[in-house]
């Protein structure tokens, strides 16, 4: 049998699987793939076990259980003073990855252009392409990864269907400010361009910065899908549970795809998370928690030859290693894992044409002990 041509020719295995695989093989400290190496709150785990024991084990509501949708809606009210109707503007998803896939599949048609900022989280461009769309990349650069909105404006044309943003930003650890969002709003004003705003790190923001959700800006809100992940918020990336919020007309299209993509998301987790969200501290304190880890990591690394601008959000710290080596970042991170026992992520993996700026990404969602042991090694490089 002759296979048809690949729908994603040339696509390589995700860098996260590659680097975590290498870390395991060489028994390295894994500061590569973004996940905590400490346990989730036992209170949350008990709530989930309780839900299982009390029979919440069959298919959940297609949109997510009403209690969880209502809890998400309350969170928007509390944080951003806006409401999403839990009946028809919120859908619980199998993580943000599914939310992104479903949103793009719902609205992107062959020939549509989608503006993406590079470095871009690795599922964005392949998902655009799977739907026949064309990713139009705007390459950002270290150390600030600032967006030139005039460049964005020059790329907009009648084929532009969507602009994708991500703040706080993986992998750079930068955030968009109010002026950025206002520039975006101005560019899309009077057009039919939609926005996908990936806000999975909304609660992990530092130094008293405010997260600039698109929902704070009426003319962005009305055209935006917001994607989010409880994996980031509650230290359990393996549970793969998140959500998408959008105005009713956009959500209607989203749900048409969602129902045949996953139909519904695992039930006991939803029951547990809905209850856990009743205590606002469980997400309001997250920024403070990770700021301590960022500050510990930065202070431990003070004597190293890595150049780092403090991350403003996410649990990632970008680092310039050009004082240590002239190698490409793929080779450098491989060698650091194999020879020195610390794994990280080469940022070129997320860049247009794998542009290499000698930048790598460390994940600091790790125990203090892991951070100390890693920094000790990194300071010797
Ligand atoms: N977007 C960004 C920017 C991410 O960093 C991640 C994963 N860490 C996701 C989406 C996917 O989230 P999930 O694991 O909930 O699918
Ligand atoms: N989002 C995580 C990261 O940026 C990885 C998620 C994955 O492996 N798909 O490291």
The CATH class of 15-40+284-378 is alpha beta
| 3-state SS assignment for residue 103 | helix
| 3-state SS assignment for residue 285 | coil
Q: How far is the CA of 14 from the centre of ligand 2 (A)?
A: 9
Q: How far is the CA of 157 from the centre of ligand 2 (A)?
A: 32
DSSP state of 48: H
pLDDT at site 70: 98
**Ligand 1, residues 92, 231, 311: which to mutate, most atoms within 8 A of Cβ?**
231
Dmax over CA atoms of the chain, in Å, equals: 59
pLDDT at site 210: 96
Please, is 6 exposed, middle or buried when counting C-beta atoms within 10 Å of its C-beta (0-12, 13-18, 19+)? exposed
How crowded is the C-beta side of 344, counted as CA atoms within 13 Å? 33
pLDDT at site 229: 98
pLDDT tens across the length of the chain (381 residues)? 999 999 999 898 999 999 999 999 999 999 999 999 999 999 999 999 999 999 999 999 999 999 999 999 999 999 999 999 999 999 999 999 999 999 999 999 999 999 999 999 999 999 999 999 999 999 999 999 999 999 999 999 999 999 999 999 999 999 999 999 999 999 999 999 999 999 999 999 999 999 999 999 999 999 999 999 999 999 999 999 999 999 999 999 999 999 999 999 999 999 999 999 999 999 999 999 999 999 999 999 999 999 999 999 999 999 999 999 999 999 999 999 999 999 999 999 999 999 999 999 999 999 999 999 999 999 999
**Ligand 2, residues 18, 31, 33: which to mutate, most atoms within 8 A of Cβ?**
33
Q: How far apart are CA 277 and CA 168, in angstroms?
A: 21
Phi, psi angle pair for 292, to nearest 5°:
-60, -40
CB 348 within 8 A of CB 336: no
Do the bridges between strand 224-229 and strand 242-245 make them parallel or antiparallel, or are there none, so unpaired?
antiparallel
Element holding 360 (H helix, E strand): strand 359-363
Residue nearest to ligand 2 atom 2, measured at CA? 34
**CATH T-level fold of 55-279:** 3.40.640
Give me the DSSP letters along 107-147.
Answer: H--TT-EEEEEES--TTHHHHHHHTT-EEEEEE--TTT---
Q: 15-40+284-378 and 55-279: same fold?
A: no
- Structural domain boundaries in the chain: 15-40+284-378, 55-279
Placement of tokens 């109010």 in the chain: 178
51: left (phi over 0), alpha (psi -120 to 50) or beta: alpha
């Amino acid at each position: 049998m002759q296979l048809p041509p690949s729908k994603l020719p040339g696509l390589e295995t995700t860098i996260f699987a590659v680097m975590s695989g290498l870390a395991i093989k060489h028994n390295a400290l894994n500061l590569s793939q973004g996940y905590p190496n400490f346990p989730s709150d036992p209170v949350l785990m008990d709530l989930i076990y309780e839900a299982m024991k009390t029979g919440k084990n069959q298919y959940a509501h297609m949109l997510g259980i009403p209690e969880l949708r209502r809890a998400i809606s309350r969170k928007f009210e509390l944080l951003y003073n806006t409401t999403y109707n839990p009946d028809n503007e919120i859908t619980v998803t199998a993580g943000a990855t599914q939310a992104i896939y479903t949103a793009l599949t719902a609205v992107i048609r062959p020939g549509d252009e989608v503006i993406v900022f590079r470095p871009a989280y690795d599922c964005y461009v392949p998902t655009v392409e799977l739907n026949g769309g064309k990713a139009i990349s705007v390459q950002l650069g270290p150390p600030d990864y600032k967006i030139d909105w005039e460049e964005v404006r020059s790329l907009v044309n009648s084929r532009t269907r969507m602009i994708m943003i991500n703040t706080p930003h993986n992998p750079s650890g930068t955030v968009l400010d109010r002026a950025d969002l206002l520039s975006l709003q101005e560019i899309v004003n009077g057009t039919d361009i939609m926005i996908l705003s990936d806000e999975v790190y909304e609660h992990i923001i530092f130094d008293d910065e405010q997260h600039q959700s698109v929902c704070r800006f009426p003319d962005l809100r009305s055209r935006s899908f917001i994607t989010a992940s409880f994996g980031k918020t509650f230290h359990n990336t393996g549970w793969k549970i998140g959500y998408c919020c959008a105005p009713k007309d956009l959500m209607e299209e989203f749900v048409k795809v969602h129902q045949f993509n996953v139909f519904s998301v695992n039930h006991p987790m939803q029951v547990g998370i809905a209850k856990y969200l009743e205590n606002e501290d469980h997400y309001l304190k997250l920024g403070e928690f990770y700021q301590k880890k960022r500050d510990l990591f930065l202070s431990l690394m003070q004597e190293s030859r890595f150049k780092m601008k403090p991350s403003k959000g996410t649990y990632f710290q970008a680092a310039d290693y050009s004082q240590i080596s002239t190698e490409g970042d793929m080779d450098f991170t491989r060698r650091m894992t194999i020879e020195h026992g610390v794994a990280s992520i080469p940022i070129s993996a997320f860049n247009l044409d794998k542009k290499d700026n000698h930048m790598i990404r460390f994940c600091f969602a790790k125990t203090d002990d892991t951070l100390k042991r890693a920094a000790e090694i990194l300071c010797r490089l």
